[in-house]
């Protein structure tokens, strides 16, 4: 039995028919929508490489059944930049060498965006490490990742101050 869902991905609406109710959001993104930025590291909720935002909340796409997402809004790494202008978290990862091979990076960045939006990033490296602990990096680029999240938090707070001034 097939299921129909409507969801928004990076601002674009999609009406989709799912022949298999077991398809995960990660497979839907990568195999049906050609959005391969979200990575499949473990496919069992242990590495965070597949992290996306669902209705603004950080979620492991590999653990989320697409059929449960009717009406949801999904943001992936492909939806962060504004044209050629990188999202502040993307820019900060580059500035602070927050990656080596880059495989975990889309998930790290999406998790950081979610953490900052939750107001949980702050300026304490230990707190950021804890908040990002669901995202593993085999290259151990953790120092740069933490620095990038701290810097992006500061940049985004400054941007908000300018907008609200």
**Stretch of 41-49, 82-90, 123-131, 154-162 contacting ligand FES, by CB under 6 A:** 41-49
Residues in the chain: 165
Among 37, 100, 125, 154, which residue interacts with ligand FES (rule: CB under 6 A)?
A: 100
Would you count residue 103 as binding ligand FES (CB under 6 A)? yes
Closest to 136 measured CA to CA, from 164, 108, 157: 108
Pick out residues in 45-84 that bind ligand FES (CB under 6 A): 45-50, 60, 62
Among 4, 68, 102, 157, which residue interacts with ligand FES (rule: CB under 6 A)?
A: 102
Among 5, 10, 33, 40, which residue interacts with ligand FES (rule: CB under 6 A)?
A: 40
Secondary structure (DSSP) of 19-64: S-TT-BHHHIIIIIS----S--SSSSSSS-TTEEEETTEEEEGGGS
Would you count residue 125 as binding ligand FES (CB under 6 A)? no
Would you count residue 157 as binding ligand FES (CB under 6 A)? no
Q: Which is nearer to ligand FES, 49 or 53 (CB)?
A: 49
Would you count residue 6 as binding ligand FES (CB under 6 A)? no
Alpha carbon distance 148, 59 (integer Å)? 21
Would you count residue 94 as binding ligand FES (CB under 6 A)? no
Alpha carbon distance 108, 114 (integer Å)? 10
Specify which residues 162 forms β-bridges with: none
Among 41, 88, 131, 144, which residue interacts with ligand FES (rule: CB under 6 A)?
A: 41
* Strand ranges, E, within the chain: 3-9, 12-18, 51-54, 57-60, 73-75
17 within 8 A of 57, measured Cβ to Cβ: no
Q: Which is nearer to ligand FES, 8 or 100 (CB)?
A: 100
39 within 8 A of 61, measured Cβ to Cβ: no
Which positions touch ligand FES (CB under 6 A)?
40-43, 45-50, 60, 62, 99-105, 137-139, 141
């Amino acid at each position: 039995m097939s299921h129909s869902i409507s969801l928004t991905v990076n601002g674009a609406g999609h009406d989709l028919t799912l022949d298999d109710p077991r398809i995960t959001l990660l497979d839907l993104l990568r195999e049906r929508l050609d959005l391969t930025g979200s990575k499949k590291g473990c496919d069992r909720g242990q590495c965070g490489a597949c992290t996306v935002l669902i209705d603004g909340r950080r979620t492991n796409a590999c653990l989320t059944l697409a059929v449960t997402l009717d009406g949801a809004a999904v943001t992936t790494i492909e939806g962060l930049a504004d044209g050629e202008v990188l999202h502040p978290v993307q820019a900060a990862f580059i500035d602070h060498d927050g990656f080596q091979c880059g495989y975990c990076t889309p998930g790290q960045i999406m998790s950081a965006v979610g953490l900052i939006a939750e107001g949980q990033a702050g300026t304490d490296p230990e707190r950021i490490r804890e908040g990002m602990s669901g995202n593993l990096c085999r290259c151990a680029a953790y120092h740069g990742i933490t620095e990038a999240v701290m810097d992006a938090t500061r940049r985004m707070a400054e941007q908000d101050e300018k907008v609200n001034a």
